[in-house]
C-alpha cells in the first residue's frame, strides 16, 4: 500500500505528485478549486467595497458552486504544501478533519445516483455549522453539515442552529445530512426533529472503506476497451466505483479490469490485466 501515507511514498517530486493528483475524480472545475483553496487557507475572497459613504459589503456567506461549465482546474502550478494536502485528502485519505470530510463529500455527491442535483451552495464562512445547501430537480432542499467525529452535543447543536437559520431565511429543508468520518453510537438517528411545521429525521452519512475490495488504491481500473481509465484510490467501495461508471459512461455491457500497482511500480514486463467486475448497466 505505497499510497497509504504521504510520508511513506519515496517519490515526492512535483512531476509525480502532480501526475497523481491529476487522477483525482471527479475533476475540480476552476471555480470549485478556487473555493477549495480558499477553504484550505481559511481566507475567502471578499466582495468589493462600497462607494464612499456606504458600508463595505461583507463576504457572501453561501455561494453557488459547480456551475462554471466544466472548465477543469489547472493543477500543475500548485506549491508543495498544496500538492501534499490534496494527496492526503483525496488519495491516501489520511487527513480526516472537517475540511477533508467536507470536500470528499462534495466530490462524492457529483456522481451519487440518489441525488438529482440542481444547485449546490457552499458556506464560505470561517466558522459555520451548515456546509452545503443542495437543491434537487425535485425542488427538495437538503442541508449538509460535515464533521470529523460527530458527537451527540454537536449533533443537537447543529439541529437547533439549523432550525434558527431556516426560520431567519424563510427556508424549509426537506432533509438534513450529517457527513462524518466517524460518529459516536449514541446519535439518535430514529428521532425526528421539527423545523417550522416539518418533521425531519436527520441522516448520518459515514465515510466507509469496503473490506476486501477487488482492487487496491495503486491499481489502474480500465472500463471496457479503455472507454474509461480510473485510479483505484478514487473509490473506497465497489458501489462508489459502479456509480461513477454509470454516471460517466453510456451504460450497456460493462467490464472492469485492473492493472495492479500501476501508479507505484515501474516494470519492463508486460502488465497483467485482470477482470474484477462484469455486468450490464441500463440507463
Q: How confident is the model over 121-146, as a mean pLDDT?
A: 93
pLDDT at 58: 35
What distance, in Å, lies between the first and last C-alpha atoms of the chain? 35
Burial of 168: CB neighbours in 10 Å, binned 0-12, 13-18, 19+: exposed
List residues bridging with 179 in a β-sheet: 146, 205
pLDDT in tens, 146-196: 999 999 999 999 999 999 999 999 999 999 999 999 999 999 989 999 998
pLDDT at 48: 40
Distance of alpha carbon 4 from alpha carbon 255, whole angstroms: 27
Handedness of CA 152, 176, 206, 264 (dihedral sign): negative
Specify whether the CB–CB gap between 145 and 137 falls below 8 A.
Answer: no
Q: Pull the grid cell for residue 158.
A: 447543529
pLDDT at 268: 62
* Residues 6+ positions from 94 with CB-CB distance below 8 Å: 4, 5, 6, 88
Q: Where are the domains of the chain?
A: 96-206, 220-281
pLDDT at 50: 40
Q: Pull the grid cell for residue 89.
A: 485528502
pLDDT in tens, 62-98: 999 999 877 899 999 999 999 999 999 999 999 999 9
pLDDT at 62: 92
Specify whether the CB–CB gap between 180 and 147 falls below 8 A.
Answer: yes
In CATH terms, 96-206 corresponds, of 3.30.70.20, 3.40.91.50, 3.40.190.80, 3.40.640.10, to 3.40.91.50
What's this model's pTM, rounded to 2 decimal places? Answer: 0.91
Pairing of strands 252-259, 132-136: unpaired
pLDDT at 42: 78
Distance of alpha carbon 96 from alpha carbon 74, whole angstroms: 25
Determine the length of the chain.
283
Distance of alpha carbon 12 from alpha carbon 138, whole angstroms: 45
Amino acid at each position: 500500500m505505497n499510497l497509504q501515507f504521504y510520508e511513506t511514498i519515496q517519490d515526492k517530486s512535483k512531476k509525480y505528485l502532480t501526475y497523481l493528483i491529476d487522477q483525482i475524480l471527479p475533476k475540480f472545475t476552476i471555480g470549485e478549486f478556487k473555493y477549495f483553496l480558499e477553504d484550505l487557507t481559511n481566507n475567502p475572497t471578499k466582495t468589493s467595497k462600497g462607494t464612499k459613504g456606504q458600508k463595505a459589503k461583507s463576504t457572501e456567506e453561501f455561494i453557488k458552486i459547480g456551475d462554471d461549465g466544466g472548465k477543469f482546474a489547472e493543477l500543475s502550478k500548485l506549491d508543495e504544501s498544496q500538492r501534499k494536502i490534496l494527496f492526503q485528502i483525496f488519495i491516501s485519505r489520511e487527513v480526516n478533519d472537517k475540511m477533508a470530510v467536507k470536500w470528499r463529500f462534495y466530490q462524492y455527491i457529483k456522481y451519487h445516483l440518489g441525488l438529482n442535483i440542481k444547485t449546490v451552495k457552499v458556506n464560505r464562512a470561517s466558522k459555520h455549522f451548515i456546509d452545503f445547501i443542495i437543491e434537487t430537480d425535485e425542488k427538495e432542499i437538503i442541508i449538509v453539515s460535515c464533521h470529523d467525529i460527530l458527537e451527540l452535543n454537536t449533533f443537537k447543536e447543529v439541529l437547533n442552529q439549523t432550525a434558527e437559520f431556516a426560520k431567519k431565511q424563510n427556508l424549509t429543508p426537506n432533509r438534513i445530512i450529517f457527513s462524518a468520518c466517524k460518529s459516536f453510537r449514541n446519535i439518535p438517528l430514529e428521532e425526528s426533529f421539527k423545523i417550522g411545521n416539518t418533521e425531519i429525521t436527520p441522516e448520518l452519512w459515514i465515510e466507509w472503506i469496503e473490506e476486501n475490495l477487488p482492487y487496491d488504491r495503486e491499481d489502474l481500473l480500465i472500463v471496457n476497451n479503455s472507454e474509461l481509465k480510473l485510479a483505484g484510490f478514487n473509490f473506497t467501495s465497489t458501489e462508489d466505483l459502479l456509480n461513477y461508471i454509470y454516471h460517466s459512461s453510456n451504460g450497456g455491457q460493462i467490464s472492469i479490469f485492473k492493472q495492479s500497482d500501476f501508479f507505484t511500480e515501474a516494470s519492463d514486463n508486460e502488465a497483467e490485466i485482470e477482470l474484477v467486475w462484469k455486468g450490464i448497466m441500463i440507463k
